[in-house]
Every structure is written in C-alpha cells, then in structure tokens.
Amino acid sequence: MNPYIVVKPVITEKSLRLANTENTYVFEVQMTSNKNQIKEAIEKLFEVKVEKIRTIVNQRELKRTGKKRMTVKLGKTKKALVTLISGQSIDLFDTSEK
C-alpha cells in the first residue's frame, strides 16, 4: 500500500455539499493508481471503510499566461470520489452547516 497515492483533498463548494449529503469525499490521486489501490490507501490513512469509488480523469487544460499571453498546457489530473459506509466520516475539514 502506497500512502502517496492520495495527493490532496479537493475542497470546493460541490465537494463540501457531497460530503454533507451523500457522505462522499473528493481527493486528487496519482494518474497511475487504480480503484483498489485508492481504496486501500483511504482505508489505511483515515481508518474508515469505503463503500464505493468513482474516478474522473480531467483532460489537459490550456491556460494563457505571461506578458505575451503564451498558451501553456497543464497536465492531466485524476480525482476519486470516495463514498464511505453510513455512520463514518473523515474529519479532514469541517463540513457542518452553519
């Protein structure tokens, strides 16, 4: 089990809503990882039981930067939507509504 498979959590309005309503957390993971490796890493890092994993690969993004407005290609990224068994949660960030 490689704990470096999970790169970082994705914290957006939508990911916080998913955590509150569907008990689903979003993480950015390495491109070479598969669902079984992601499941093992999440279960070991956060000591929870994973019910389901969905993965999304975002294609390369074009971004304009600099004085000459050069176009730069950013790399691909892979996200994992991890659904936990009911009754469990990850206290990575505060998801309670105010």
pLDDT in tens, the chain (98 residues): 787 899 999 999 999 999 999 999 999 999 999 999 999 999 999 999 999 999 999 988 788 888 788 888 888 899 999 999 999 999 876 656 65
Q: What integer pLDDT is reported at residue 95 of this predicted model?
A: 56
Residue 63: its pLDDT value, please? 83
Boundaries of every domain in the chain: 3-84
pLDDT for 17 equals: 94
pLDDT for res 97: 61
State the pLDDT at residue 46: 92
Rounded Cα gap, residues 61 and 71, in angstroms: 10
Output the six-digit token pair for 69. 């407005």
Q: Which one of 3.30.70.330, 3.40.50.720, 3.10.20.740, 3.40.50.300 gives the CATH number of domain 3-84?
A: 3.30.70.330
Nearest CA to 61 among 45, 77, 47? 77
Give the pTM.
Answer: 0.82
